[in-house]
Amino acid sequence: MPDAVELELFRNLFVSIAEEMGVVLRKTAYSANIKERRDYSCAVYDAASETVAMGDHMPVHLGAMPLSVRHAIDAFRLRPGDVVMVNDPFQGGTHLPDITAVSAVFIQSKNRPAFYVANRAHHADVGGMSPGSMPLAREIYQEGIRIPPVLVVRGGVVDRGLMRLILANVRTPEEREGDLLAQMMANRRGEERLRAIARKYGLARVNRNMRELQNYSERMARAAIRELPDGVYRFADFLDSDGVTERPVKIQVSIEIRDDSATVDFTGSDAQVAGPVNANYAVALSATMYVFRCLVSEDVPYTSGLLRPIRVIAPERTVVNAGLPAAMAAGNVETSQRITDALLGALAQAAPDRIPAASSGTMNNLSLGGWDPRRNQPFAYYETIAGGMGASGSGPGESAVHTHMTNSWNTPVEAFERQYPLRVNRYEVRRGSGGAGKHEGGDSIVREIEFLTPCDVTILSDRRARGPYGLAGGEAGKPGRNTLLRGRKRMKIAGKANFLVREGDVLRIESPGGGGWGPSTRGARPPLGQREGRGELARNRPARQR
pLDDT for the residue 324: 95
pLDDT for the residue 406: 87
Q: How far apart are CA 481 and CA 462, in angstroms?
A: 9
Q: How far apart are CA 214 and CA 50, in angstroms?
A: 9
Q: How far apart are CA 371 and CA 451, in angstroms?
A: 11
pLDDT for the residue 108: 86
Strand order across the 481-486 sheet: 422-430, 444-451, 506-510, 481-486, 489-493
Relative orientation angle of helices 65-75 and 281-295, to the nearest 10 degrees: 130
Amino acid, single-letter form, for residue 234: R
Residue 418 CB burial class (10 angstroms; 0-12, 13-18, ≥19): exposed
Q: How far apart are CA 435 and CA 468, in angstroms?
A: 8
Q: Is the dihedral of CA 201, 182, 420, 406 positive or negative?
A: negative
Rounded to the nearest angstrom, the gap between the alpha carbon of residue 237 and the centroid of all alpha carbons in its chain is 18
CB 391 within 8 A of CB 45: no
Which helix (H) or strand (E) covers residue 251, if one does? strand 249-258
pLDDT for the residue 535: 32
pLDDT for the residue 90: 93
pLDDT for the residue 60: 76
Q: Is the dihedral of CA 420, 422, 428, 430 positive or negative?
A: negative
Q: How far apart are CA 468 and CA 476, in angstroms?
A: 5
CA distances from 537 to 127, 184, 236, 349 (A): 42, 47, 7, 10
pLDDT for the residue 528: 37
CB 101 within 8 A of CB 184: yes
Q: Which parts of the chain register pLDDT below 50?
A: 524-546
Chain segment 341-385, per-residue pLDDT in tens: 999 999 999 999 999 999 999 999 999 999 999 999 999 999 999
Report the SS3 class of residue 113.
coil
Q: How far apart are CA 516 and CA 526, in angstroms?
A: 10
CB 488 within 8 A of CB 526: no
> Which phi and psi (to 5°) does residue 217 adopt?
-60, -40
Report the SS3 class of residue 233.
strand
Rounded to the nearest angstrom, the gap between the alpha carbon of residue 136 and the centroid of all alpha carbons in its chain is 19
Chain segment 215-274, per-residue pLDDT in tens: 999 999 999 999 999 999 999 999 999 999 999 999 999 999 999 999 999 999 999 999
**b/e burial code for range 227-252 (CB count within 10 A of at least 16 → b):** ebeeebbbbbbbbbbbbbeebbbbbb
- Indicate the pTM of the whole model: 0.92
pLDDT for the residue 109: 83
